[in-house]
Structure 1
Amino acid sequence: MRESQIAEFVTPILAHYGLDLDAVEVVPAGKRRLLRIVVDGDGPTGTGPLLDDIAEATRAVSAGLDETPVVGSAAYTLEVSSRGVSRPLELPRHWRRNVGRLVAVTTTAGEKLTGRVTSTTETSALLDVEGTPREVALADVSKALVQVELNRPKNLLAAGEDETADEDEDPEHDDEIEDEN
């Protein structure tokens, strides 16, 4: 089971559901293997995919993998999940999908700052750091993580987002769908 072959196979399936492939991981789990596929997408509000979208894509990926030799003949467990807040912001689309969120950033120069993403481009992000605008070039970011806020200000919630949305975000338990094969 090669991650690159799996990625090549599932990418067009996920694209059909408006999802981007973020990562493929194959992890030994006893006699079985865990095939973890991490997805991302804009979703209806531009802030990430809905659980229903991930569930539909999981069924399609599972059916497709059952019909192809790309996973081999050994038993595996398929897990498809969203990026969640535990994965670092690495690509411009990750930053774009997190406008309004608080992020902790470490620059390549070692500077650490925490600010709210107010806007992004393909090459930079504008952060509000304690009331002061600060532009950060994405090329100068060595690590950036979304910070979980239990009481995010209502004026910063995305359209249609529940004010308790972050309360359900646990870095250790991303939205995930599992399928035993």
Structure 2
Amino acid sequence: MDFKTEVNRLINEFLLTRPDLFLVDLKISAASDVTLILDGDNGVTLQDCLDASRAIEFNMDREVHDFSLQVMSAGLSEPLEFPRQFKKNIGRPVDVLLNNDSKIEGELINVDDEKIVIRLEYRRPKVIGKGKEDVVEDKEILYSDIKKALVVIKF
């Protein structure tokens, strides 16, 4: 079995024992530098990263194939890519860049396997009369229409 296939098999076996965790990204360079990014329904702890690292380290023979391994959690600056990542961020503000390069910012209020729903709050000119009115609108966005989505961090 080649190196990449073996690493994939080991991480998938580990994830079967931890259904609350999921793989966001796995990169293996030509120099056998392995970078594993995990996320979890309830976040990822340092212990989770250690356990994933051990699942690979203890089952690979460095005499056969030398490698470096880095296991980390998906950070707040990382884009949301999977429905599980969106789901765990319900109630948080998100910035969504669509494929047509327009941007939408609002509160993530619902997620399913095909789309997300964002609550937009803004002011617009009144339809009748002068002045402005507050508008609250829920907008559905298909995953296929999303180029990039980030959680907005407010202090």
Pair 85,3 (structure 1): closer, same or farther in 2 beyond 3 Å: farther
Gaps of 5+ in 2: 122-135
Q: Percent identity?
A: 27
Deviations 1:129-166, CA, capped at 9 Å, x for gaps: 224322212121111122222x3xxxxxxxxxxxxxxx
> Does the residue aligned with 1:65 lie in a helix, a strand or coil?
coil
| In the alignment, structure 1 residue 81 sits paired with structure 2 residue 67 | no
Deviation at 1:78, TM superposition (A): 1.2
Does the CA-based 8 Å contact 1:114-1:129 persist in structure 2?
yes
Where does residue 127 of structure 2 map in the other structure?
A: none
TM-score normalised by L of structure 1:
0.65
Alignment of 1:26-175 (within 5 A): 26-27=28-29, 33-43=32-42, 48-66=43-61, 72-74=64-66, 76-130=67-121, 131-149=136-154, 151=155
- When the two chains are superposed, the root-mean-square deviation of aligned CA atoms in Å is 2.5
Identify the structure with the greater strand proportion: 2
> 1:118 Cα deviation (Å)?
1.3
Q: How far is the alpha carbon of 1:34 from its aligned partner?
A: 2.7
CA shift in 2, pair 1:118/1:62, >3 Å: same
TM-score, length basis structure 2: 0.74
Moved over 3 A (4+): 1-5
Q: Which has the higher contact order (CA 8 A, sep 6+)?
A: 1
Query: Which structure has the larger Rg?
Result: 2
Shift of 1:120: 0.8
1:123 Cα deviation from its structure 2 partner: 1.0
Q: How many residues align?
A: 139
